[in-house]
Amino acid sequence: MLNKLNTADPLFIFGAVAVGMFGLPALGKTMAIAHYIGAFLVGLTFRFWGMGDRSATPEHTRTGNILGRAIDALAKARQEDGRTFGQMMGDAVNDSIKTLWMICGFIMLFSTMVKIIDVVHLYPIIAAPFEALFRLLGFAPSLVRAMVAGLFEIDLGTVAAAKTMAPLVEQVAIAGAIIAWSGLSVHGQVASVLTGTDIRMKPYVLARVLHAVLACGATFLLMRSVDSSGWGFVRVIPVLGGLPHGVAEPGFVGALMRGITWSLGVPAGLAMVGGVAALLSGGLRWAGFVHRR
């Protein structure tokens, strides 16, 4: 089974991105909420993916309690394996070390590719579609280079977005898109792990593209949302992120959001994100978000 989604770790969003790259700890809550909103919407979108391909789905995976099916599958796999417990532990450690080296290798490979793109003058070709898209969206052209880097490697792209001279709301939105896309480096890691299985990469890549679009849009709306209904709440920036230079207009919505701001300290925000992640995990399973091939 393949979950079409790999969500970013809250520690990565809060620590590495918000604090380490942007130097604004309060950004973590906004970016995390937008990221998991995008993940939930991707799950709903892919609810019926592959439902027509029932012949490829073993009968025992279609019915019964998911915990009971997991225990049955675990017991069956243990009987068929034949290895002793000590041998299984040793193999698990060896496989983990190999996987870590594989991940490091992919990061180095795609980081080098980003540099090669400049050296061999491929950057204008790869950047052209992003330049056209950014002109259409009204985003700063300087963010194109961050997007190209993020196409290949998530950390390089996010760092570039944080360092680019552009409006903060656009920097954070592009960083959110890069984190959701995860980079071809992560895609290569997933493909290498899936080698030899019947799990397909196509739905995974499509889900990554959709998540990038949704996360970017959700981040942008949370960072700079204008309420045209006259209810009085103008900027969400100071509410979800506690950032300077934003003012909430008086009114019912403004008062409500100020109350939420008061109630969400950093510990509460971290606990909330963890709870949201757990609820999303259960909700996505209930919605059939786990692909059956």
pLDDT tens string 43-98: 888 877 766 655 445 544 456 678 888 888 888 887 888 788 788 889 889 989 99
CA angle 57, 60, 66 (to 5 degrees): 105
pLDDT tens-digit profile of 2-48?
445 578 889 999 999 999 999 999 899 999 999 999 999 998 888 77
Alpha helices in the chain (DSSP H): 10-11, 27-45, 66-81, 85-119, 123-137, 144-152, 154-163, 168-181, 183-193, 202-223, 252-263, 266-286
d(CA 128, CA 62): 45
| pLDDT in the model for residue 194 | 85
The whole-number pLDDT of residue 261 equals 42
Report the share of the chain in percent with pLDDT over 90. 45
Which two structure tokens, joined as six digits, stand for 130? 């992003």
| Burial tier of 104 (Cβ tally within 10 Å: 0-12, 13-18, 19+) | exposed
pLDDT of residue 63: 60
97-115 residue pLDDT tens = 998 999 999 999 999 999 9
Q: How far apart are CA 133 and CA 128, in angstroms?
A: 9
- Residue 259's pLDDT is what? 41
Cα–Cα distance measured from residue 84 to residue 91, given in angstroms and rounded to the nearest whole number: 11
| Whether residue 239 has pLDDT greater than 60 | no
Pairwise pLDDT comparison (259 vs 174), residue with the higher score: 174
Let me know: does 35 contact 13? Beta carbons within 8 Å: yes
Positive/negative CA dihedral, 285, 287, 289, 293 = positive
CB-count exposure of residue 59 (10 Å: 0-12, 13-18, 19+): exposed
pLDDT at 220 over 60: yes
The chain-wide mean pLDDT, for the chain, equals 76
Please calculate the CA angle 31-204-293 and round it to the nearest 5 degrees.
135
Residues 64 and 72: their CA atoms lie apart, in Å, by: 11
CA dist 180 and 32 (Å) reads 11
pLDDT in tens, 192-207: 888 888 788 888 899 9
What would the mean pLDDT of 136-158 be, rounded to a whole number?
A: 94
Look-up of token digits 């019947």: 198
**Rounded Cα distance, 281 and 77, in Å:** 24
Diameter over CA atoms, the chain: 68
Segment 240-270, tens digit of pLDDT: 444 443 333 334 444 444 444 433 444 444 4
pLDDT value of residue 64:
65
The model's confidence at residue 126, banded by pLDDT at 50, 70 and 90, is: very high
